[in-house]
Structures are given as C-alpha cells and as structure tokens.
A and B are shown apart, each in its own frame.
Chain A
Amino acid sequence: MINQKKHFWPPSDPAVVRTELINNTKKGGSTLRTIVVSLVLLSLLIMVGIIGKVIIDGNDQTQWGYVAAILAFILSATGGAPMVAIAPLIAKASWARPISRIAHIIGSVSIVNIIIMIPILRMLPPLIVDGTRRRSIWFEAPNYSPHFWDTLGLIMLAITGMALLYSSSIPDFAVMRDSSDGIRKKIGKILSRGFIGTTVQWSKLRMRIGILSTLYFFVLVFVHFIISVDLSMSMVPGWKDAIYPMYHTMSGIQGGVASVIILSWIVRKYGKNQNYITINQFWALGRIMFATSLMWIYFFYSAFIVFWYGRSESDAAWLDLLIRGPMMYVFIIAMLCSFIIPWWWLIWNRVRNSFNGPFIGAIIVLIGLLLDRIRLYVPSWSVNPKLIHDKWLTEIPKILYPDIWDVMIFIGSISLVFLIIIGLSRILPLIGVWEIHQLNLLSKPGKFMKAHGIRVAKPD
C-alpha cells in the first residue's frame, strides 16, 4: 500500500471483496430503521405540500415558481450524477469504478421529478393563451406540446437511468445469487438473468452499458433543454437566451458531481468502505467539480456580457428580472456558492487531495445550485401571465417568498430521494463488486524509482 496515512486500496482477494461488499447490504440496525421511518414520514410531506398548495393557491400560476425550482433542483442534483461514471467509461479511466454504482443509483431516482411534475402540468400555460400563440420552442406544434414532451422527457430519463443502473448491476446480482441466501438469493436469481460471466456475456454487457450511457447523456441534455426553456424562459416575454439550456445542463452536471461526492463521502465514512473509496476518487472528483465550476461561470458570463453590452429593452429586462432585480441577493449568494467559493476552495491541490475538502465544496455547490434554480424559476413564474405576449418584460414582479407548502414539497422531495437511495442500498451493494474486481485487474499501486503511483492498464 502506498502512503499509509491516506492511501488505501481494495483487497486483492476477490472472495474478500465479494463478502465485504455483499455483507454491507445486510448491515443496519436500529439507527438505520429510525432513519428509514423518519424518511418515510418526511417523504409524505411531498403529497401534503402538493395537495395544500393546490387547495390554497388554486389556479394562481405566479405562486408555483418554487415548485418548478424544486423540480429543476432535484433534476440537476441527481440527473447529472451518472455522468461521473459515463465520462470515465468513455475515456477508459479506472478511477471511477468504486463510485460508479453510487453515481448510477443517484441517477435512478428521477421518479421524484415525475411526482413533482404532476402539479406543474396543471399550472403550465398552454401554447395558445388568449387566442394567440406564445413564444416557445414548439412553434406550430399542438397546444399542449410542452406538457407532453416535458413529462415524456422526465419519464425517459427515469427509465434510462434505471436501465443503466440495472445493466451495470447484473454481475453483482449474479454474485448475490451465488453467495447469498433467502430473499437476496431469489432477487439475485431473477435479476441476474442467467449471467455466469462467459466472454460473450461480458462483451454484451459492456456494449449494453456503453449504449445506455450514451443514450442517458443525450436524454439528459434533451430533458435539461426542454425543462429549462418550457418552465422558465418561455414564461418571460422577450427572454431569448440560446446558451441557457446548455448553462442549465452544465450546472446540472456540476450538481450531479457534487451529489456523488457527498454520497461517496457518507458511504466511505459510515459504511466502513475506506479500502474501496480512496483518495483517488475524491481527488479526481474534486478536479471535475472545479472544472464544472469554471464552466458554470463561463456559460453564465457568455450570456451576461451579451445582455449587459447589448442594452436593448429586452436585454435590460433580463438583467432586471434575474440579476439586479428582486433576486439580486439570491443571485449574489448563488454566484458565491456555485463559482467563487468552489473556485478558491478547489483550486488548492491540498483541498482536492483530501476527503473533506471536496465534500465541503460539494455541499456549497449544492446550496448554490438550489439558489440558482430559485433565482431562475421563481421570477419566471412570478411574471404577470397577462404580459406573456409582450415584446419584452415591462413590469418586474416583486420578490416571492416560499410558503409552508413549498417548504413541505422541498423537504418531502429530498427525503424521498434519500429513501430511494437507502432502499436500493439494501438490495445492491453501493460499491460494485465486479467494478472492484476489474479495478484490481486493470490498476495496481506501485513504485517507480522513488515515486509512488499506479500502473494503469487500458485495454482496447
């Protein structure tokens, strides 16, 4: 082992890896039970919040901005997570193997988005308002195209995310089938679908994971594109911003990386997985989060300078609505948390090369992401619906504070996300057994003259 202080490496014996990781799915005591019960109760708040909001706020579209912001936040914080596993897969990098299951599990909770989308469908205005077609990316499409395609997009994302998780778990289901008993053995037998690890099965599995990963990426970009335009940009007259969908996607990937860091930190610390999730993962994730923070500011600034320098009426209205108007303080904090603090924090190699540094950075990024989504969605929904056909926004809405129902929906959504993750961790090991086997095959820690390092194999 290298650098005993900080560096660990998974056990080289496959039997030990199998036993340790499969046993993790069985662990849990009264603390876990208490957490699960609390999460179940808190998850119910999502339904209470939605029902309460429907009853109290009725048909007032301007009151639903926070719900849209919560949807965008959950989509961004979870949807981008599988990219942490997908990008290294394409680049044939082995470092992500111990955390790729975590990334896939976070990506498969998209069902929460669909639940929040249900009340939004009711409030989202159709394309033809007061007999006139409003500006949208749907041009001459049928009246309820945004409703249909946005929902379909979220469903597609959920299905692809789950398919990706399932495909990448098949070898582990086979391990469960062969080395567990009781219900786990039964689940393993059904879900492994006769996987015994022949060359053909491995080759097909790799191909399937590759295809699903590519598909997931395209669906993710598509969903960010339609959700960002339909649920915010097209609600504001005169807001025309071609980079916005890409900004939304990029900040979503930043949020996804942050979520993976947080969950990896928890799994490592409280799941006693110090030998599996090592400093290599945190160092690489820290670098990715640093890079995505820079991309965040670049995409933001690309829009900002054009509006700021253009100074047309619609440009000025954009600045008033989203930057210097009612959301000015939210914007400043979002900017601090999404870019300035992560930038100055993660720029230091010592911070990136630690367990707590990227973890703290990830929490700050997620706070920034939430505030950024509030900054974008709340004012967009607060715009007076009667102004929708104007050439540009002439009346900036006042700041809207969240009500109790918004808070309940937020707490319920987050709780549901954690509940699903804990539920999945009872069936599947949070660290892929086969991924660790492959990691051990493809990379080995070692020394070269006086330097410590890893010898990495990259098969074609």
Chain B
Amino acid sequence: MQQRKSVTQEYTNSVLLNGTLETPKWWPYLVSILSFFVLVGIGLFFVQIYYGLGVTGLSRPVYWGLYITTFVFWVGISHAGIMISAILRLTQAEWRRPVTRAAEILTIFSLLTALVFPLIHAGRTWRIIYWLLPFDFARGIWPNIRSPLFMDPIAIGTYLTGSTLFLFVALIPDLAVLRDRTTGLRKGFYTILAMGWRGNPRQWKMQVVGGILLSALMLPIFVSVHSIVSWDFAVTIGVEGWHSTIFAPYFVIGAVHSGVSAVVTMMALMRWGWGWNDFIRPEHFDALARLLTVVATAWLGFTFLELLFSLYGLDAPEIALREMQIFQYPWNMLFLLFLLTGFIIPVPMWLFKRVRTNIALMFWSSIMVNIGMWLERFLIIVPGLSRKTPFVFTWESYTPSWFEWYILFWSFCWVTLLMLLFSKVFPLVPLFEQKESEVFSDSVKIGRANVPTIFREEEE
C-alpha cells in the first residue's frame, strides 16, 4: 500500500487502455506464433480422431493419463478468478483491485480449455453425447445422473456461465469508457455491450449490488466444481489411493494454490508486457504471496493427511502403492519434484519480503508451483491406475506419447492466445476499480508515520 502513487483519471484511462486502443509492438508477433502452435494442435486432434487413441500412450490398465491430468489441472487454474475476485471483494481487501479482471478472465479461459480435454480424451468425441443424454428409449439405457462423471459438465457449465456473467457485470463501466473513446464499428460494439451505462448513482448501486450478489452466488459453485471433479476419483473403490474422504477439500485447496499462482504469473507478464508499473505494483505481489503462503501451508497439511490416512488402514495394496509413488523410479523423481516445486522451494522464499516484492522471483516461483501442481494431479491419477492389474492381466506402465505432450503444450498456447485476443478488445485491469480506489484512499499521520487509509461504507 505504501508504494501507491496518486494518478489522475485521465492517466488511468490512457495507460490502462494502451493495450486495447493501441497495439504493442510485440503483440502481432506473439499472436502469430501462438496461432501457429494452436493450429498445429487442432490438426493433431483431427489426426487422433482419424487414427484413434492408439496414438497416445493410454493402454490397459491406465486409461486416464495426461489428458485427464491436464483437465484437472485447468479446472484447478480456473479457481483463481473466484478466489481472488469474489472472496476478496466480499472481504473488501483493497489490494484486489488490479488483480480481479485478470483472475476472472483466467477462470473463463482455463475452464474453456478444461472442457476440451474430456472431448479429446474420449477419442470418438461425438460419443460423449451418449453419456449425457438418454439416447436409446427402446432399450432403456439412461445416463446415471447420480454419477460425478455426469455432474462434472453440469458443474463446469454452471461455473462457466456464472463466471462469464460475473466478468461481464464488472466490465460494464469500462465498456462505457471504451464506447466514449472509439468510433465506427467498435463504438457500436461497445455501445451494445455497455447497455446505456452513464455512471449515475442508481447504476453504480445496481452494479455494486450485482457484483456482491454474484460473488456470494459464485462461491458455492466454485467449491462444488473441483469437489465434483475430485469425486470422479474418490467415489471409486476399485482404484488404490482414490477412495479418500479428503479429496474434495484437498483438490479445492490445491486448485486455489495453483490458480492464485497462475494469477501471479499473469500479473508479472501484464506488468512487463504493457508497462502498467503504476497499477500492478510490488505490494500486490506481496499480498498475493502472503495469501499463497497461507494457502500452500494448508495444502501441505491436506497432502500430509492424505498420505497418512492412506497408510492408516494398514491395507497391503495401499501401502504398496505409496511405496511405488514415493520410492520407485520414476515415480520417486516425480514425487520429489512435486514436493520441491509445490512447496519446499517457493514457500520458504515467500517468507522474505524481498522475494515477495521482487516480480521476477515471484514470476518464477509461481511457475514452479504450477509445475508441482500438475505433477500432483499426475501422481494422483496414474500410479493408482497402473496398479489396477487383477482383472486386466497387464503389467505395462504408462508413458505419454509426444502427441499427448504436444496437446498439453497446445493448451498453454491456447489460453495465452485467448488472453491476448481479449486484451485487444477489453482492458485487462479494471479502470473503474482503480478510480474507485483513488477516491476512497487517503492517508493519515500516526505518530511519525504516514499511514494509508481506506474508506469502508457501513452496512445500514
């Protein structure tokens, strides 16, 4: 808070709209490169449809591999938006202001990406329709509506719809700003989206109330989405290591860990890319790192409980699974890497304010966390399945093919491309939040220190 610089509304408009009303030099090059990789990925998807799932490393007994791991990973990343935006809005955390929009967009694009993965994983993508809709009345074959596999798309769909609405409500005042600064077709586009916003007291009141109501409504959805994804695994009694009651909160806290880290990555890139140094400041990274320290510690506690209670039952197969995960090559290397990148390296780093306010270090530590969190999902899904041998008489392990690795790479290119395209149409940092912060902020002299203050409206 101490680094806050007082800026005028004109300055806020001109700087924060520099990505929307102008085009940074690097933008077309980066978009072209990403588009190329994305198109290659789409081509590979069609190749997979043509040749079938044989092009992947999936085989008996590991039918869920890298695709499902990446699906869970992106659902996890999507938790950034609501965690940052809704919870911090409800708790009136002042530092949320420049972070919210980026987090909300990340939610939407990562959810869109996550939804693609079950489709890719299905092999014959169109057959998914049979799992969701009753397709054969004559034979009485119905989808099992109690199954988490059925509930998944419903939960993700609801989350996606809610998040989009949430993003849109928060965008309206900025759309009006864009409407008033553009001409021609673009003006028409923003005029429609701004829905007659003039910024009168009633409109502001409705916007604030709408934002708070949506925040409160989105919270249960946010929790339910990853919980339902976790129950895909936890309600299965046939796979060692999956049937655990801790999975739902464990997945949610892990998702928050990876999602907030992804927001840190994105904030650093936005600051570097668009030069928004006056708006995305070290204090915001400091606050995010503090939040991450708490979240990561809770996540470590859940990881410990998950491991401890897998041994608690003293079941030989479960113990054998954990032995394999922790001590046998190559799982042991992955497990070590997961712990190192997920907690042991980043969290002690974040204990130092110098690291928390160093944007480069925060950037790399946040990437590290997401490597760890991806590995966590991989280590939950694959080792358990690879030991599921009694009825398949197959003892082969799973090695992802280059096809699968490319599709994983594709997903990152796809999300980045979507973000860049979004930035050309809408501002990535909310203008109105900055202006509101400017109006509500002040400072007071306490002793010899000049302490920043914020005005909080009381409930009537």
Contacts and interface: CB of A to CB of B under 8 A. Distances in A.
Nearest to B297: A218
Interface string B212-235: 000000001001000100010011
Most B CB contacts (10 A, CB to CB) among A242, A312, A353, A452 go to: A242
Given A242-B244, A243-B246, A309-B235, A458 B452 contact: yes
B311 interface: yes
B452 A243 contact: no
Given A453-B457, A455-B455, A242 B246 contact: yes
Interface in B427-457: 440, 442, 444, 446, 449, 451-457
A458 B2 CA distance: 10
B278 interface: no
A244 B146 CA distance: 24
A310 interface: yes
B302 A312 contact: no
Given A139-B311, A448-B440, A299 B249 contact: yes
Interface string A198-224: 000000000000000000000001000
Contacts of B459: 283, 349, 353
A245 interface: yes
Interface in A234-256: 240-246
Contact of B247 (A280, A302, A307, A459): A302
A118 B456 CA distance: 50
B2 A460 contact: yes
A7 B458 CA distance: 10
B446 A306 contact: no
Contacts of A442: 446, 451
Interface string A274-299: 00000010010000000000100011
Contacts of B446: 441-442, 457, 459
A54 to B, nearest CB: 31
Interface string B163-198: 000000000000000000000000000000000000
Nearest to B286: A460
A444 to B, nearest CB: 8
A459 B451 CA distance: 5
A455 B227 contact: no
Contact of A458 (B246, B312, B314, B451): B451
Interface in B286-320: 294, 301-302, 305-306, 308-314
A184 interface: no
B454 A456 contact: yes
A457 B452 contact: yes
Nearest to A451: B457
B9 interface: no
Contact of A303 (B93, B94, B245, B312): B245
Contacts of B305: 242-243, 245-246
A325 to B, nearest CB: 19
B33 interface: no
A141 interface: no
Contacts, number: 124
Contact of B223 (A240, A298, A448, A451): A298
B237 interface: yes
A312 B223 CA distance: 27
A3 interface: yes
B248 interface: yes
B118 to A, nearest CB: 20
Interface residues of B, number: 47
Nearest to A245: B305
B1 interface: yes
A458 B249 contact: no
B424 interface: no
A135 B454 contact: no
A302 B453 contact: no
Contacts of A302: 227, 245-249
Interface of B is mostly: mixed
Interface in A297-337: 298-299, 302-303, 305-307, 309-312, 315
A459 B235 CA distance: 48
A190 interface: no
A294 B249 CA distance: 13
B455 A305 contact: no
A456 B231 CA distance: 43
A244 B305 CA distance: 10
Given A283-B459, A441-B446, A246 B453 contact: no
B243 interface: yes
A459 B309 CA distance: 42
Contact of B312 (A2, A240, A246, A455): A240
Contact of B458 (A307, A309, A454): A454
Nearest to A280: B458
A16 interface: no
B127 to A, nearest CB: 25
Contacts of A312: 237, 243
Contacts of A139: 311
A135 B455 CA distance: 55
Given A246-B302, A307-B245, A457-B444, A135 B456 contact: no
A92 to B, nearest CB: 10
Contacts of B454: 455-456, 458
Contact of A306 (B247, B294, B455): B247
Contacts of A194: none
Contacts of B453: 455-458
A240 B309 contact: yes
Nearest to B243: A310
B249 A246 contact: yes
Interface in A431-460: 441-442, 446, 448, 451-460
B245 A244 contact: yes
A137 interface: yes
Contacts of B235: 305-306, 309-310
Most A CB contacts (10 A, CB to CB) among B247, B294, B459 go to: B459
A436 to B, nearest CB: 15
A342 to B, nearest CB: 16
Contacts of A306: 231, 234-235, 243-245, 247
Interface string B1-33: 110000000000000000000000000000000
Contact of B451 (A2, A242, A452, A457): A457
B231 A135 contact: no
A32 B313 CA distance: 53
Contacts of B146: 309
Most B CB contacts (10 A, CB to CB) among A2, A299, A441, A459 go to: A459
Nearest to B94: A458
Contact of B245 (A2, A243, A457, A458): A243
Interface in A59-94: 90-91
A312 B455 CA distance: 56
A298 B458 CA distance: 30
A453 B455 contact: yes
A54 B26 CA distance: 80
Contacts of A454: 455-456, 458
A302 B227 CA distance: 8
6 contacts: A242-B306, A244-B245, A246-B249, A302-B248, A312-B237, A457-B451
Interface of B: 1-2, 91, 93-94, 146, 220, 223, 227, 231, 234-235, 237, 243-249, 294, 301-302, 305-306, 308-314, 440, 442, 444, 446, 449, 451-460
Q: List the 5 shortest-distance A-B pairs measured between CB atoms, nearest first.
A: A242-B309, A242-B246, A309-B235, A302-B248, A303-B245
Given A442-B446, A451-B458, A453-B458, 10 more contacts: A221-B301, A242-B306, A243-B248, A306-B235, A309-B231, A310-B235, A349-B459, A448-B440, A454-B455, A456-B455
